[in-house]
Chain A
Amino acid sequence: MKFLIKVRLKNGILDPQGKTVHQALQHLGYKQIQDVRIGKLIEVEIDESDPQKARQILQEASQKLLANPVIEDFEIQPEE
Chain B
Amino acid sequence: MEVKSAVIVFPGSNCDADVYEALRLMGARVEYVWHKERQLDDYDLVVLPGGFSYGDYLRAGAIARFSPIMQEVVRFSRKGGRVLGICNGFQILTEAGLLPGALLRNQNLRFVCKFVYVRVENPHTPFTHRIPVKKPLRIPIAHGEGNYVIDLAGLKQLESNGQIVFRYATADNQITPEANPNGSVANIAGIINPEGNVLGMMPHPERAMEALLGSEDGRWVFESLMSG
A residues with CB within 8 A of B: 13-14, 16-17, 20, 65-66, 68, 70-71
**Does B105 belong to the interface (CB within 8 Å)?**
yes
> Among the listed A13, A16, A17, A68, which residue makes an inter-chain contact with B62, where contact means beta carbons less than 8 Å apart?
A68
**Does B155 belong to the interface (CB within 8 Å)?**
no
List residues of B (69-127) whose CB comes within 8 Å of A's CBs. 94-95, 100-102, 104-109
- Residue contact A16 to B106, C-beta cutoff 8 Å: yes
A49 to chain B, nearest CB (A): 27
- Residue contact B58 to A13, C-beta cutoff 8 Å: no
**Does B149 belong to the interface (CB within 8 Å)?**
yes
List the A side residues contacting B183 at CB < 8 Å: 14, 16
> Among the listed B102, B105, B106, B108, which residue makes an inter-chain contact with A68, where contact means beta carbons less than 8 Å apart?
B102
- Starting from the known contacts A13-B149, A16-B183, A71-B149, 5 additional A-B residue pairs (CB-CB under 8 Å) come to A13-B104, A68-B62, A70-B101, A70-B102, A71-B102
A selection of 25 A-B contacts at a CB cut-off of 8 Å is A13-B104, A13-B149, A14-B104, A14-B107, A14-B183, A16-B104, A16-B105, A16-B107, A16-B109, A16-B147, A17-B109, A20-B109, A65-B58, A65-B63, A65-B66, A66-B58, A68-B62, A68-B95, A70-B94, A70-B100, A70-B102, A70-B150, A71-B102, A71-B104, A71-B149
Complex alpha-carbon distance, A65 and B95, angstroms: 9
Task: Specify the chain A residue showing the minimal Cβ separation from B107.
Answer: A16
A17 to chain B, nearest CB (A): 6
**Does B4 belong to the interface (CB within 8 Å)?**
no
Task: Give the 6 A-B CB pairs with smallest separation, nearest first.
Answer: A70-B102, A71-B102, A16-B107, A16-B109, A16-B105, A20-B109
B14 to chain A, nearest CB (A): 23
**Does B35 belong to the interface (CB within 8 Å)?**
no
List the A side residues contacting B147 at CB < 8 Å: 16
Complex alpha-carbon distance, A16 and B149, angstroms: 13
List the A side residues contacting B59 at CB < 8 Å: 68
Complex alpha-carbon distance, A65 and B104, angstroms: 16
- Residue contact B102 to A16, C-beta cutoff 8 Å: no
- Residue contact A17 to B105, C-beta cutoff 8 Å: yes
Complex alpha-carbon distance, A20 and B106, angstroms: 12
Task: Specify the chain B residue showing the minimal Cβ separation from A70.
Answer: B102
List the B side residues contacting A14 at CB < 8 Å: 104, 107, 149, 183
List the A side residues contacting B105 at CB < 8 Å: 16-17
List the B side residues contacting A17 at CB < 8 Å: 105, 109
